[in-house]
Amino acid sequence: MSDVVADYKRADAPLPERNRLWPLYGAGFENLGRDGQMIERPLPTYGPDELLVRHDATGICFSDIKVIRAGQNHPRIYRDMRQDPVVLGHEISLTVVGVGENLRDQYKVGDRFIVQADIYVGGVGYAYGYEIQGGFSQYNVIDQRILNGDGGNYLLPIQPTTGYAESALAEPWACVEASYRVAYRTAWKPGGTLWVAGDGRGVTLGAARAWRPGQVVLDVQDETLAADLAAWAEEMGVAVIADADGQQYDDIVILGSDPALMERTFPRLSKGGAFAVIADQEVPRPVQLDIGRLHYDSLALYGAAGADIAAAYAPIRTQLRPGGVTWVLGAGGPMGHMHLQRALEIAERPRKIVATNLHLPRIRAVE
C-alpha cells in the first residue's frame, strides 16, 4: 500500500479537473465564497513560461481579515470585487505540479517554495493574495510577474524536510524579525522633496541646517522662520517650489498642533516618507489619519515638544532593551505569540516580560 504522505510530497499524481477556492466578492464574511461554501472552477491552464502550483498550507493573516472587513475600501484593492473577486492568502507554502516547457531547465514537479508576497512589476504592486490569486485556492498559476518581477524571482525555495505549515509561517515570522530591523531616517531625505507647514513661531532648524533635500515647499506663517528657511534653502542649493495638486513629499514637517493641518497634509506623504510634528502644545483633538499606511507604505512618524526641528529626528531604538521591561500587547494572538517567543529566546532578553490579551482563553494558551 502506498504511503499517502510520500505520494503527496512527490506531487506526481494525476491532477484533478476542478480547482477549489474561496473568492471574496465584497466586505463581510457573507461575501466569502458562495452561500458560505467554497466554489469550484476548472483547473487553471498554464503557459510555456508559467508554473502550475498546489497550495499546501496557508496562514490566515490579520491583513486578510482587514480585507474581508473593508472589501473594496481596503487600500490594496483596486478593482470591482463583485466582477473580479479577490482570492486571499499570502502566507503560503506551495509545490510545483506543472512546469511550462520554457522553464523545465529551472523547475521540476515536486519543487517546493514560499512566496515573497509583496510583488512589484514596473513599480506597480501585484501582491500575492491581493492582485494575484492567493492561497485560499487549491491550485494557482505562477506567471512572469512572480518569476521575473522588479525584485527578481519572488519564489523562495525551501527544504523538502520543512513542514508545510512551518513554511507558510515564514512570512509572518519574517515580518516580526523585520520590525526589529527597521532603519529610521535621522534627517530629511537627501535630494528628496520637503514640505514645511504651520505656524513656526520660535522654531529653529538646529542641526537640520546641514540637511539638504532637493526641493522644499515653504508654507510657514511666522515671518522670522520663513526668512530663515529661505536663506537656508539658498545657502544649501535647495530649490524652493510651490505646492501642486497631487505632489507627494518624502518629508513633511508640521509646525504647531493644528489637527486639521495634519489631516490635510498626511495623505501627501510618499512611500517611505517621514511625517514630523514640532509643537509645544497638545493637539486639541484626536487626529484622523490612515494609519494603515504606516505598514503598507513604510511611513514613519516623528515628533518633538520643543522648538528644535532636528530634535524630532533623534535615533529610534528598534531592539528590546536588554535587562529592561517589555510589554507584549495581544500576546494571545499569532503575531503576539511570535513576538513573545522571540523576546524569550534572544540572547540579550528583557529581565521582565508582561504579556496581555483582551481575551482570557487566548492568553491562557501562552502560560
Give the DSSP per-residue string, 252-273: EEEES--HHHHHHHGGGEEEEE
pTM of the model: 0.81
> H or E stretch including 156?
strand 155-157
Residue 1's pLDDT is what?
Answer: 41
Residue 69 lies in a domain: yes
Residue 254's pLDDT is what?
Answer: 98
- Residues of the chain falling short of pLDDT 70: 1-2
Which residues have CB under 8 Å from 22's CB, separation 6+?
32, 33, 38, 39, 87, 88, 136, 137
Q: Which of 179, 202, 222 is the last residue of a domain?
A: 179
- Output b/e per residue, 72-102; b: 16+ Cβ within 10 A: eebebbeeebeeebbbbbbbbbbbbbbbbee
Residue 149's pLDDT is what?
Answer: 97
Whole-angstrom distance, CA of residue 167 vs CA of residue 252: 40
What is the per-residue pLDDT across 288-339, written as a single tens digit (0 to 9) for each? 999 888 887 889 999 999 899 999 999 989 999 999 999 999 999 989 999 9
Same domain, 225 and 151: no
Q: State the residue for C-alpha cell 512572469.
A: 144
Q: CATH code at 33? A: 3.90.180.10
Same domain, 212 and 87: no
Same domain, 358 and 293: no
Residue 350 lies in a domain: yes
Same domain, 308 and 330: no
Residue 149 lies in a domain: yes
Residue 99's pLDDT is what?
Answer: 98
Same domain, 337 and 358: yes
Residue 28's pLDDT is what?
Answer: 96
Same domain, 359 and 305: no
Q: CATH code at 258? A: 3.40.50.720
Residue 210's pLDDT is what?
Answer: 97
C-alpha distances in Å from residue 352, one per residue of 216, 313, 344, 362, 363: 46, 29, 10, 21, 17
Same domain, 148 and 17: yes
Whole-angstrom distance, CA of residue 362 vs CA of residue 328: 14
- 131 with 120: CB under 8 angstroms? no
Q: How many domains does the chain have?
A: 3
Domain that holds residue 199: 193-313
Residue 269 lies in a domain: yes
Residue 354 lies in a domain: yes
Residue 204 lies in a domain: yes
Q: Which of 129, 145, 179 is the last residue of a domain?
A: 179
Whole-angstrom distance, CA of residue 323 vs CA of residue 353: 10
Nearest to 122 by CA among 144, 96, 93, 99: 144
Cα–Cα–Cα angle for 336, 338, 340, nearest 5°? 70
Whole-angstrom distance, CA of residue 254 vs CA of residue 149: 37
Residue 2's pLDDT is what?
Answer: 62
